[in-house]
Amino acid sequence: MSYELFIAERYFRSKRKTGFISLITIFSLGGILIGVAALIITLAIMNGFETEVRTRIIGFDAHIRLNQIHKQPGFENYPEIIDQLKHFDHVVGCAPYIIENAIIQTEKPKTIIVKGVDAEAERDVSKINEYLVAGNLDFGMVPFEGEPPRPGILLGRGVADRLVVGLMDKVYLISPAGLSLTGGPFQTPMVRIFRVTGVFESGLNEFDSNIGLIGINQAQDFFQYGTKIQGIEIKLDHIENSDAVAADIRNKFGEPYTTETWFERNKTLFSWMQIEKWVAFIVLSLIILVAAFNIISTLIMIVMEKNKEVGILKTMGATFESIMRIFLFHGLVVGLVGTVLGSLIGYVACWTQMKYEWFSLPSDIYFIHTLPIEMKVTDFIFISLSALMLTIVASIYPAWKASKLEPVEAIRYE
């Protein structure tokens, strides 16, 4: 141990002539502790919410979509394309889809997004089976009480509640497909009758209140795609591979095909969540900044109290750099102790919430029942380094003042 660190450690532990200095030191340490703990807990909660949202979006949707640049007129050689896609690295599932707007009606009409899917293939690219709260993923012709068989439709819970329908209820889908602005006043839209064979709840209002699923064959007929589809959903073994695999697919197929990753489809949402994390980090860092100002005042008072000792050290040959290091080490000790304790408290608080779920959330407002937590090592490192950097910067001015003391002036009246 260098003598500068030894003296700094002695200054930290020694009893002050003025107890007020020790009190400010404790407040400074406590401020850093609270700031670090608050940052760790807040970022862990935000990470948890972000992961929950991402998991549910990808659980309902795929990692990558392959479609044509203008999404029209679609492509019909999709079985061959799917076979080629399955040979790409990291690809674990593919499924055709058609997505169009339509009007669904019982007593009151509602505009929804209708997604045509292949029931078997859809299980390979989404978690739709896990989101079912009633019925099943059945798009076949459904007979009911002597009426003609009708194709099945799967509705989001919000859509079903809005229409006040349940299993096996009859709904009407109205499509504008085939209508044109120059077709005259006697055009009629496409109308089909469906039976509700299932209700799903993903936990995301965007999906649950706006989407209905029908079979890919019914979608081709209803939206007049013929034997074509709009695109192909692709599921990967890991979300982190999305950008690389999407680039490989674009290079392989070229125009008019293009790809769209899960992040590109939800860029605004996740960009806003990232901004929120940075804002929270900056705001909560003000707690550490206040503690850093306390460190400045504490060190200045310690310099005044240790005036004689500094003069003696200088007369014994202590250099400008040595005196600065003594007080920098003192500020660093305060920051280090506060950062370590704050990180420990933050970790324990997050771990206990993950283990015992102390804080629950109202299920009628949130899509999860407990406060989500996800701790990241990078957050701990970044927060700790930021806190230590602030304490070191706060220690520079008092350390510089101490190093500029003239030894004769410091001990003249002692």
**Are 52 and 74 found together in one domain?**
no
**Are 120 and 41 found together in one domain?**
no
Mean pLDDT for the chain? 82
**Are 159 and 215 found together in one domain?**
yes
**286 in a structural domain:** yes
Q: What is the mean pLDDT of residues 70-82?
A: 78
Torsion-angle region of residue 193: left (phi > 0), alpha (psi -120 to 50) or beta? beta
Q: Is the pLDDT of residue 406 over 70?
A: no
**Are 161 and 122 found together in one domain?**
yes
**Are 199 and 284 found together in one domain?**
no
**261 in a structural domain:** no
Domain residues for the domain of 44 are 3-56+269-411
**Are 97 and 216 found together in one domain?**
yes
| H/E stretch holding 65 | strand 64-68
> Which pLDDT belongs to residue 303?
67
Lowest-pLDDT choice from 152-166, 184-198, 211-225, 374-388: 184-198
**Are 149 and 90 found together in one domain?**
yes
User: In the structure, what pLDDT confidence band is assigned to residue 71 with cuts at 50, 70 and 90?
Assistant: low
**260 in a structural domain:** no
**61 in a structural domain:** no
User: In the structure, what pLDDT confidence band is assigned to residue 306 with cuts at 50, 70 and 90?
Assistant: low
357 or 377, which is more confident? 377
Q: Is the pLDDT of residue 248 over 80?
A: yes
**65 in a structural domain:** no
Q: Is the pLDDT of residue 304 over 60?
A: yes
Q: What is the pTM of this model?
A: 0.76
4 or 123, which is more confident? 123
Q: What is the mean pLDDT of residues 142-161?
A: 88
Between CA 125 and CA 338 the distance in angstroms is: 47
> Which pLDDT belongs to residue 271?
86
Q: Indicate the pairing of strand 91-105 with strand 109-117.
A: antiparallel
| Sequence-distant contacts of 348-355: CB under 8 A, at least 24 apart | 349/37, 349/41, 350/40, 350/41, 350/44, 350/375, 351/375
Neighbours of 294 (CB within 10 A): 21
Lowest-pLDDT choice from 92-106, 201-215, 289-303, 396-410: 396-410
> Which pLDDT belongs to residue 287?
81
Top mean pLDDT of 16-20, 56-60, 87-91, 330-334 is at 87-91
**Are 94 and 221 found together in one domain?**
yes
Neighbours of 399 (CB within 10 A): 22
Which pLDDT tens digit goes with each residue over 13-36?
555 555 555 677 777 788 889 889
406 or 388, which is more confident? 388
Lowest-pLDDT choice from 77-86, 108-117, 233-242, 391-400: 391-400
**Are 311 and 374 found together in one domain?**
yes
Which pLDDT tens digit goes with each residue over 322-343?
777 777 777 788 888 889 999 9
User: In the structure, what pLDDT confidence band is assigned to residue 182 with cuts at 50, 70 and 90?
Assistant: very low
Q: What is the mean pLDDT of residues 72-97?
A: 87
156 or 290, which is more confident? 156
**Are 228 and 122 found together in one domain?**
yes
Burial call 322-340: b when 16+ CB within 10 Å, e when fewer: bbbbbbbbbbbbbbbebbe
Between CA 387 and CA 288 the distance in angstroms is: 7
- 106, 172 Cβ separation under 8 angstroms: yes
User: In the structure, what pLDDT confidence band is assigned to residue 371 with cuts at 50, 70 and 90?
Assistant: confident
**Are 278 and 206 found together in one domain?**
no
The whole-angstrom distance between residue 325's C-alpha and the CA centroid of its chain comes to 41
246 or 147, which is more confident? 246
User: In the structure, what pLDDT confidence band is assigned to residue 154 with cuts at 50, 70 and 90?
Assistant: very high
**Are 116 and 20 found together in one domain?**
no
Top mean pLDDT of 137-146, 196-205, 308-317 is at 196-205
Looking at the structure of the chain, the number of domains it has is 2
**Residue 147: strand pairing partners:** 144
> Which pLDDT belongs to residue 413?
47
* Domain end among 254, 277, 300: 254
> Which pLDDT belongs to residue 342?
92
